[in-house]
Structure 1
Amino acid sequence: MKTHAQARRLWLALLVSFMPVASTAALVANAPQGGRIVANAFGDTHIPATPQRVVTLYQGATDSAVALGIMPVGVVDSWLEKPMYRYLRDALADVEHVGLETQPNLEKVAWLDPDLIVATRFRHERIRPLLEMIAPTVATGSVFDFKATLALMAEATGRESRARALMQDWNDRVADFRRQIADKLGDGWPQKAAVIRFKSDHVRIYSTGFAGSILNELGFEQPDSVQDQGWGMKLTSEENIPVMNADVIFVILEPDDPAITRNYRHWRSHPLWQRLDAVRNERVFEVDAVNWIMGGGILAANAMLDDLYTHYSLDDPYREHATPALEMPAETTASLPAASTTSTPSCAGEVSRVSHARDEEPAAC
């Protein structure tokens, strides 16, 4: 009944446009029989037995969908390599985009007629009532916990066995890396690792988040300067270069930005940079921003681990990671409203010589 489906999409779009707040009580009362109840950061969500039309509203959920063999009907734009990261581009070539992670186009989401929306409380708490008016919505607490994202999406879509296989592969790789690096470095292991990111007018040093949590799992330690500093620090003065001191430094770059490249060269030319332990021991590695902080899912995590095997010249017996064939969703809508392109992600906190923040930092910043 295509006419009925189109009418429902129009009704949902109008509802999103004119209702500032929507109660979810009626949704719970009118939930269809069958399916499953999934506990998540938004509470307990009733989900159809086998969702066919999934919309993902953050990067880690999109990555996880591909890893689980799901073809979403809608995804948000990537932060870099727009409109979609290169490592996901082939798999998602024909998928509709629904705006930014920080400001999804709810009208377009409604027109896609999803039966499951995957969000994150960190980004989407304010629009939760509207999302739940459109479709059953599940959410993680953060944007960088790839294991939580994978587990939630697997439970919501009935792909738990595939998620277990992905996590077994990950756990095997982690155990192998820890064994090999301990054997290779001997008394030099564990190393203190600093993850830094150059921007056009400052430098960030991360202590948690996607890369930090993976490095911790692999056995690296944090530099003393960033322990108990929330997500990390922002540095705007070269006088603070000693804060970066560590056994190894991983530098996250955005190679297509000339201003960032100039700032990186400027800091590297400073005498204090030359005194850093990692610099003196030639342990400064430039790494890919998408793999290390932007991707946010199990596929990106494996790509980051690929980088580490390479940087330490370790043999990687698990190098090939097969991506499952994607399951095509139900019929997609041919005519869709244009996505909004006016919003711009913002970063929390004023930049100062040494800025400390205890809240999670937006992944795009």
Structure 2
Amino acid sequence: MKKTSYIIFGGTILLAGCGDDEGTSTVSTDAESMSAYEVEHHLGVAEFEETPENVVTLFQGANDTAVALGYEPVGIVESWLEQPVYEYLRDDLSESTIVGDEIQPNLEEIAALEPDVIIATQSRHEEVYEQLSDIAPTVVLEELNDFKATLEIMGETLGEEDQAKQLLDHWDERIEDFQLQMESTQDEWPMTRSVINFRSDSLRLFVEGFPGSVLSDAGFEMPDNQQQAYETDETFIELTNTESIPELESDMFFVYMQSNQEADELDEAWQLWTDHPLWGELEAVDQDQVEMVDEVIWSMGAGFIAANEMLDDLYEIFELEDGE
């Protein structure tokens, strides 16, 4: 497994250098000095005789996070879009073997890679946890889209706790800078937000999940109806008719299209919703606060790099100066 050194500059994670399997990594010295240890996770405890080198990641946020920590896993799951690997990660995962998708990872292919550790998630892999654990120590995260928790536990697992802390500290600095600039430049702050996914047969109003967690960190608030849905553990609110358009109400819209559906059907859906008189009465529409965003970065990536690219987008959308 290649280990690659990354540094943060101007809010971006940059390639600094690389080494082969037998070489030393400049990412951190933590992993070089660790002996036997245990990692507690959602489904148990993973035991390691030494720091893992060959890593298999079984969800998109783990693929992303491995790269953020300077690793190229020996095995990864296929991306949902832009197959086989999301474009923003493609160069860094060019030598990783595809081992199925998140829902159905190929256990035989995983075993053939002889991994030292498998990174999984409860919602996708609880039923195959025992089989995965028979292949290699398996660390299972409770939340699929919690990019901070993924970074922390992967940092602990891979002996890169210092690197993970550095990345999270830098994230906090960027968030503080963004909020200070928003407070000084916006007429009203904080503002409410809606993350809207246009589909051929409905709209999905995402309450929390990955994009919601980033926006909450950045200081945006949920409208009351979304807050109520969040408190009952709903991931999204699905709207199936135009009479429900007022449920979208908020100060700011971040919109992306469901790109794996037919383009002409999506165009028809867009016209159906946005030509309706109720659409024009929405505050965000009236104030020209509707932004089209990238589906992969804002919804699918769900890792630390994607979160930073979301924050990059927010700096650009609001014409702020990056605080670096």
Q: With the length of structure 1 as denominator, give the TM-score of the two structures.
A: 0.76
Q: Deviations over 1:11-51 (max 9, x none)?
A: xxxxxxxxxxxxxxxxxxxxxxx521001112111023211
Distance (whole Å) between structure 2 residues aligned to residue 47 and residue 296 of structure 1: 27
Post-superposition shift, 1:256?
Answer: 6.5
Distance (whole Å) between structure 2 residues aligned to residue 160 and residue 281 of structure 1: 44
The equivalent of 2:194 in structure 1 is 194
Distance (whole Å) between structure 2 residues aligned to residue 47 and residue 290 of structure 1: 34
Distance (whole Å) between structure 1 residues aligned to residue 277 and residue 64 of structure 2: 41
Q: Secondary structure at the match of 2:127?
A: coil
Amino acid in structure 1 at the alignment position of 2:283: D
Q: Deviations over 1:75-112 (max 9, x none)?
A: 00111111110010001112100111011111111111
Post-superposition shift, 1:164?
Answer: 1.2
The answer as to whether partners of 2:72 and 2:95 remain within 8 angstroms in 1 is: no
The equivalent of 1:77 in structure 2 is 78
Q: Does the C-alpha gap of structure 1 residues 131 and 255 become closer, same or farther in structure 2, counting only changes over 3 Å?
A: closer
The equivalent of 2:155 in structure 1 is 154
- Which of 286, 289, 296 aligns to 2:295? It is 289
The equivalent of 1:341 in structure 2 is none
Distance (whole Å) between structure 2 residues aligned to residue 261 and residue 95 of structure 1: 36
Work out which structure has the larger RCO, using CA pairs closer than 8 Å and 6 or more positions apart in sequence: 1
Q: Deviations over 1:279-301 (max 9, x none)?
A: 00000001111111110110000
Amino acid in structure 2 at the alignment position of 1:200: S
The answer as to whether partners of 1:195 and 1:207 remain within 8 angstroms in 2 is: yes
Distance (whole Å) between structure 1 residues aligned to residue 315 and residue 123 of structure 2: 32
The equivalent of 1:46 in structure 2 is 47
Amino acid in structure 2 at the alignment position of 1:215: L
Q: Secondary structure at the match of 2:118?
A: strand
The answer as to whether partners of 2:103 and 2:124 remain within 8 angstroms in 1 is: yes
Distance (whole Å) between structure 1 residues aligned to residue 62 and residue 260 of structure 2: 26
Root-mean-square deviation (CA), in Å?
Answer: 1.2
Post-superposition shift, 1:165?
Answer: 1.3
Distance (whole Å) between structure 2 residues aligned to residue 48 and residue 175 of structure 1: 39
Amino acid in structure 1 at the alignment position of 2:54: R
The equivalent of 1:107 in structure 2 is 108
1:242 aligns with 2:243: no
Distance (whole Å) between structure 1 residues aligned to residue 144 and residue 115 of structure 2: 21
The equivalent of 1:334 in structure 2 is none
Amino acid in structure 2 at the alignment position of 1:204: R
- Which of 316, 320, 333 aligns to 2:322? It is 316
Q: Secondary structure at the match of 1:99?
A: coil
Post-superposition shift, 1:255?
Answer: 4.9
Q: What's the % identity of the aligned pairs?
A: 45
The equivalent of 1:130 in structure 2 is 131
Matches within 5 A, 1:186-335: 186=187, 188-229=188-229, 230-255=234-259, 257=261, 258=263, 259-318=265-324
Distance (whole Å) between structure 1 residues aligned to residue 314 and residue 235 of structure 2: 22
The answer as to whether partners of 1:225 and 1:244 remain within 8 angstroms in 2 is: no
Post-superposition shift, 1:58?
Answer: 0.2
Q: Secondary structure at the match of 1:127?
A: helix
5+ residue gaps, structure 1? 1-33, 319-365
The answer as to whether partners of 2:81 and 2:260 remain within 8 angstroms in 1 is: no
Q: Deviations over 1:203-249 (max 9, x none)?
A: 00011101111111111110122222121211110110000011111
The equivalent of 1:141 in structure 2 is 142
Q: Secondary structure at the match of 2:82?
A: coil
5+ residue gaps, structure 2? 1-34
Q: With the length of structure 2 as denominator, give the TM-score of the two structures.
A: 0.85
Amino acid in structure 1 at the alignment position of 2:146: D
Amino acid in structure 1 at the alignment position of 2:197: R
Aligned residues: 284
Q: Deviations over 1:284-331 (max 9, x none)?
A: 00111111111011000000001111111111134xxxxxxxxxxxxx
